[in-house]
A = this chain, B = another copy of it.
Amino acid sequence: MAGSTFGKNFTVTTWGESHGKALGAVIDGCPAGLSLSEAAIQEYLDRRRPGSAPLSTPRKESDQCEILSGVFEGKTTGTPISVMVRNTDQISKDYSAIASLYRPGHADYTFDAKYGFRDYRGGGRSSGRETIGRVMGGAVAALILKELGIKVHAIVTSDLFEVPAQDSIGGVITCTIKGLPAGIGEPVFSKLDARLCEACMSIGAVKAIEIGDGIKVASMKGSENNDAFAVDQSGNIITKTNHCGGILGGMSTGGDVILKAYVKPTPSISLEQETVTREGTPTTISVGGRHDICIAPRAAVVVEAMCAMTVLDLLYENMHARMDRILDFYAKD
């Protein structure tokens, strides 16, 4: 499908630009019978809102979501859920500077290269505000997972500190998925780790992903990296260590899934930088305005959202992996 729909059986289609009328998501594949309210989605949205986290932009956005379809008398109906957030805090200003210049570290140039022109009012579709749709989709996925006893949680695990001058810093987000049964993920191209990586690397500022021990595995010996199998007190098969980050052969082991996402420093800085105009004339730029010093604190809930959607989609796919379970499912019908 075109690139604004995520997922295969649980799909989230997002739309909207930073300076357009609104942003939203259409969530399709949500089962019928889930209790769902705007308040439940809002709880997730509030975690990505400016001002909700350290080092974030002073831009004020209420970001109130409105459910437009798919819910009847407080329950999902199985039909697509459309959720929307109106843009309200757009300061009308002169965008002529960034209209004609390429901001370093931003997608201005690549947008022009692809489409011939761009919506130059802020980041447009590559703005951080695009993640509003992701978070709303992820909120619904997380609510379903919660009913299944699966918890996805992401936090910043790097040091956050103010930087001198008018600069910015990067950060690390660690996401843990607890309660996932063993065997989730498909063995070849649609591995659990492959799908999680795609999901998280599709978040604007992420530049590296690790599963379990991550880059360290390259300098480890097999005897150090292999996780011995054992049996817990309930008789369940477990791994004694978790170097593998809860995934073997692309399928969950039943242990915690551990993923780390590395986020680059906010590219918008007011320090003067070299750049060129659209016509290729060298010049300099200083990006003013209201920006996060570090994106990581607000991006944690986005990582969580992407992981929740991915895991749910693979839980669906796993439902037809075994003949006996398909028979059992339809026997009750």
Tell me the A1-37 residues at the B interface (CB within 8 Å). Answer: 1-11, 13-17, 20-24, 26, 28-29, 31-34
Q: Is B5 within 8 A of A189, CB to CB?
A: yes
**Count of chain A residues with Cβ under 8 Å from any Cβ of B?**
167
The reply to whether the CB of A327 lies closer than 8 angstroms to some CB of chain B is yes
CA distance A227 to B105 in the complex (A): 6
Copies of this chain in its oligomeric complex: 4
Report if A68-B21 is in contact (Cβ < 8 Å); known contacts: A34-B323, A124-B77, A244-B105: yes
CA distance A195 to B41 in the complex (A): 28
The reply to whether the CB of A106 lies closer than 8 angstroms to some CB of chain B is yes
Q: Is B322 within 8 A of A33, CB to CB?
A: yes
Interface residue from B77, B116, B265 paired with A225 (Cβ < 8 Å):
B265
Q: Is B237 within 8 A of A276, CB to CB?
A: yes
**Per-position 1/0 for A210-253, Cβ under 8 A of B:** 11111101111111111111110001110110001100111111
The reply to whether the CB of A209 lies closer than 8 angstroms to some CB of chain B is yes
Q: Which chain B residue shows the least CB distance to A81? A: B15
A-B CB contact pairs (8 Å), 10 listed:
A21-B66, A23-B69, A31-B326, A33-B323, A72-B121, A110-B251, A158-B218, A235-B280, A319-B320, A319-B329
